[in-house]
Amino acid sequence: MSSNTRQRWAEIETLVSENKSSLTALTHLELKSFAEEQGLMTRNDFPKFKHSLKKIGVFYDDLRAAAREERESSLDNTVAALVDAPRTGPHVTLWSAAVEGDDGSGAYAVVAADRSAVWYGRFFDDDRVRVPGDLVSAEQSAAEKAVWIGSKALRTAGEGGWLTIVTTCPHLEIDVLQRAGARQGVAVDVDVNEDERAIRLAETPGFQRWQDTDLASLVEHDEED
């Protein structure tokens, strides 16, 4: 260990020791904010900070895991409530689909009720859901994009609402879609049928950015609203 490294360790341990009384009462997000304020959010310093915290009985990773578990439990309750909620108020219906090419490329499409394109084009290489060549994962990615854009559209109409994703794929992870919607306060239903409008668009060369869509136009209202 170099002298500079030893000095930095000593500086961080002194900082933690001097602030022990306050640091022991903080959440993991508050600890992170403290680290940011002290310039410790670097690849080298933050691990030193977390190690020094352990010496005063504060386990950052455990606090973060507990907070994540609490959020997930709360989200489960929200999903359950939304699944059982009456389907009234503002709503959006979107068709989603994906295609996979023999060359390893793939494309997705999200289509509105009037058959107009909402968002489509080739998948980016860093898509977090799609596995190249795996059609089901591509369909899942397209559906998650539909949930994201549909929830965004509903937020333009105020809080809440519900969203229907129409797909030809019977293998989607519906719980993942529902959880994504629940994070935005939106109930998500999935309708599997043979309507191929989104597939045909996914097969069409070109692209359309979601930013070019009038999101408010996607939202429908019950007649009594």
Tell how strand 187-192 and strand 162-167 pair up.
parallel
How many degrees, rounded to 5, is the angle at CA 67 between CA 66 and CA 68?
Answer: 90
Cβ neighbours around 140 below 10 Å, total? 23
Q: What is the pLDDT of residue 131?
A: 94
Q: Is 170 exposed, middle or buried (0-12, 13-18, 19+ CB in 10 A)?
A: exposed
What is the predicted pLDDT for the residue at 159?
A: 63
* pTM of structure: 0.70
pLDDT for 117 equals 97
Contact of 107 with 198, CB cutoff 8 Å: no
Q: Which residues contact 88 (CB under 8 A, 6 or more apart)?
A: 222
Q: Cα 29 to chain center, whole Å?
A: 19
Give dist(CA 61, CA 86) in Å, integer: 39
> What's the pLDDT score for residue 223?
58
Beta strand residue intervals within 79-207, DSSP E: 91-100, 106-111, 117-122, 162-167, 187-192
What pLDDT sits at residue 102?
A: 84
CA 21 to chain centre: 36
Q: Beta strands 106-111 and 187-192: pairing type?
A: unpaired
Sorted by sequence, the CB contacts under 8 Å of residue 66 that are 6+ apart come out as none
d(CA 22, CA 18): 9
SS3 110: strand
Burial environment of residue 56 by CB neighbours within 10 A (0 to 12, 13 to 18, 19 or more): middle
- Give the pLDDT of residue 33: 92
pLDDT tens for residues 136-169? 999 999 999 999 999 999 988 776 789 999 999 9
Six-digit token string for 25: 């009462």
Q: Which residue positions in the chain have pLDDT lower than 70?
A: 1, 159, 223-225
